[in-house]
Structures are given as C-alpha cells and as structure tokens.
C-alpha cells in the first residue's frame, strides 16, 4: 500500500520535485524547438510527457485514497 506522508519536509520535497520536473520538461521542449538535431519530434514528445506527468499524477491520488480506505 502507498501511504501518503504529511510531514513538512515531505511537502517541501514534493514541491521541489514538481518544479524540477516541470522545468526540465520545459527546457527539453525549448531545446526541441530551437535545436538543430535530426530527431526533434522524439525530443518534443519526451518534453511533453515530462510536463504532462504532473497532472496525470494528480488523477491517481483520489484513487489511491479510495483504495486505502477499502483495505
């Protein structure tokens, strides 16, 4: 089971992790748009996935809570 810690340190870590993933995804997208590589499409896809992971992650939180309550 996945338990959601509620400590202040955990919340700070989560905030830093989310900002870092978003910034890296944004930088990868910008590099794919500006760069002169031959493989720009895969780079753009990877960047979009990294930026889109955070909202997708939020969709699973209610499901995990329901699953935890049932068990």
Distance between CA atoms of 51 and 31, rounded to whole angstroms? 14
Distance between CA atoms of 30 and 48, rounded to whole angstroms? 11
Task: Report CA torsion sign: 3, 4, 8, 14.
Answer: positive
For 2-47, the pLDDT digits (tens) are: 555 578 888 888 889 888 989 999 999 999 999 888 889 999 999 9
Higher pLDDT, 67 or 37: 37
**For residue 64, how far is the Cα from the chain centroid?**
17
């Amino acid at each position: 089971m996945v338990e959601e810690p509620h400590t202040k340190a955990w919340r700070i870590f989560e905030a830093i992790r989310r900002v870092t993933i978003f910034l890296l995804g944004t930088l990868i997208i910008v590099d794919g748009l500006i760069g002169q590589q031959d493989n720009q499409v895969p780079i753009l896809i990877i960047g979009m996935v990294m930026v889109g992971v955070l909202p997708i992650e939020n969709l699973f939180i209610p499901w995990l809570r329901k699953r935890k309550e049932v068990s």
